[in-house]
Amino acid sequence: MNAPLFEQSSLKRAVEALRQDLIQADGPRISTMRNYRFAILQYVPQHEFELRREIQRLTSELVAHGWAVVTIDLQRLLLDRVRAEGPEFAQRVIEVEKQLGAGEAQRGLQYLRQKLTPLVEGPSGLAADCGRIISEHVARHPERVDRTVVFLGRAGALYPFFRTSALLRDLDGQTGNVPVVLLYPGERRGPTGLSFMGLLDADSDYRPRIYS
């Protein structure tokens, strides 16, 4: 059996374990803490499309059994924040990045970090956008909190501007106790360590259960 088939099988098992913990009769068990309903589904970045198929399959099954599934596209939220800076902002950033990157790619990347990181980090960044979307759903369907799950996807678009551990930390307290699952492209290193996209140093600042 070659490596890709093994990894896809591992992904299917992780999604199935998540499904089983979500549909418990007494409510989701994705966390050992009742008031901290966060989990991480880790997958190899090269299997992004496989991950999307598995989540779509899981979503269809949950909806068929009366669940509400909220999918938040982190890439779209990032682009919305860039657009909110005005039409000249993106063009200016692109032009400067090209100029700096032409001489040294790392300089261009560092410039992008300086310009984009302040737009997405902290309690008023993407966490606020995610919290608003979740809160609006809870306000519309307060009776369905225990049968609602939120998937945070397209996290790879945030590389290397953002640490996803910070996103979950800043989201804590803003979810109305709805289960939230971060779809995490990266590598697992040790019991609690995760390397974003398999390229950044492993981050152990994760409290949620990791499915992998």
The string of DSSP codes covering 107-163 is: HHHHHHHHHHHHHH-STTTHHHHHHHHHHHHHHH-GGGGGGEEEEEE-GGGGTTT--
Q: What is the dihedral of CA 96, 101, 106, 111, to 10 degrees?
A: 0
CATH class of 3-74+123-211: alpha beta
For residue 17, the number of C-alpha atoms closer than 13 Å in the C-beta half-sphere is 16
pLDDT of residue 5: 45
With a threshold of 0.85, does the pTM exceed it?
Answer: yes
Helix (H, G, I), strand (E, B) or coil at 166: helix
Domain boundaries of the chain, sorted by first residue: 3-74+123-211
DSSP state, 47? G
Place of tokens 């590598």: 187
The CB density around residue 6, as the number of other CB atoms within 10 Å, is: 10
Q: Which two tokens stand for residue 162?
A: 């953002």
Question: What pLDDT is recorded for position 110?
Answer: 85
Q: pLDDT digit of tens for each residue in the chain (212 aa)?
A: 444 444 447 899 999 999 999 888 777 888 767 678 899 999 999 999 999 999 999 999 999 988 999 999 999 999 999 999 998 998 898 888 888 878 777 888 888 888 888 888 889 999 999 999 999 999 998 888 888 999 999 998 887 777 777 888 899 888 988 999 999 998 888 777 787 776 666 666 567 888 98
Q: What is the pLDDT of residues 16-36, one digit of tens each?
A: 999 999 888 777 888 767 678
The CA-based dihedral angle spanning residues 58, 61, 65, 69, taken in that order and rounded to the nearest 10 degrees:
40
